[in-house]
Amino acid sequence: MGRARARNEDAILQRPGRGILAVADGMGGHAAGDIASRIAVDIVDDRTAHLPEAGAGAYLRDTVRAAHDAILRAAEADPELRGMGTTLTILYVDPEHRATIAHVGDSRAYRLRDGTLEQLTTDQTWVQEQVNAGLLSPEQARGHPFSAMLTCALGIEETELEVQILEHETEPDDLFLLCSDGLTARLHDDDLRLLLLEHSEPHHAARALVDAANEAGGPDNITVGLVRILGEGQEDGPGQGDGREQG
Ligand code: CA
């Protein structure tokens, strides 16, 4: 929930058996933000019940578009929900341990490998465009009054939906982090890296990240999902899938 918000507009979907993790961060008045993020992860849940053997990137892109359309339809049907939207970041680790990410908005996917934390997704925000153009430094972007202004989100008709698709080979012990901006608004990437290195067990690491964001003020909802890639012969965690441990 964070420390300042009365509602949780974030939603998370964890389906370890399928290799699916998704994070959505909703926006909109009344309960609309909660509804938008919930619709998004429900569509991901439905559409990933049967994943294709090939073409995961195209399939996830269609999944994001289906969620976008579902949110628009729900908003058309209920005036109270007009203008609701959400971010959506999906990670799929296939049975060969290849990772595919589909992304819209300013939630993020990171990968920790050999002690180095890399942000894989690009924020679709006004400040990120300014950083890309050399008009703001990353530090200025973080504290900027417009830091939360998205240039793209599901459910928003005014801008064209631009789905980022990323495909990565993985290595044993790679750790993927998906999070809403409530985690990254106050914590620097190096804070995240140190906490992930300090807590090797994913459930403990996720808890430590959320606690740190709350200790830094917790102005927003905070959502964290972690996936560790296991190597040959490594034990899965209790009740987990086939070499794709989540926390
Ligand atoms: Ca947020």
Q: Residue 236: its pLDDT value, please? A: 62
Q: Residue 240: its pLDDT value, please? A: 46
CA 74 / ligand 1 centre spacing (Å)? 21
CA 107 / ligand 1 centre spacing (Å)? 8
Q: Residue 218: its pLDDT value, please? A: 87
Protein residues near ligand 1, an ion, with CB under 5 A = 25, 180-182, 220
State pLDDT tens for residues 186-224: 899 999 999 999 998 999 999 999 999 999 998 899 999
Q: Residue 160: its pLDDT value, please? A: 84
Say how far apart CA 18 and CA 34 lie, in whole Å. 25
CA 181 / ligand 1 centre spacing (Å)? 5
Q: Residue 244: its pLDDT value, please? A: 61
| 3-class DSSP assignment, residue 10 | strand
Residues of the chain with pLDDT under 70: 235-247
Reference 247, options 216, 208, 198, 194; nearest CA is 208
Say how far apart CA 142 and CA 128 lie, in whole Å. 9
State pLDDT tens for residues 21-32: 999 999 987 779
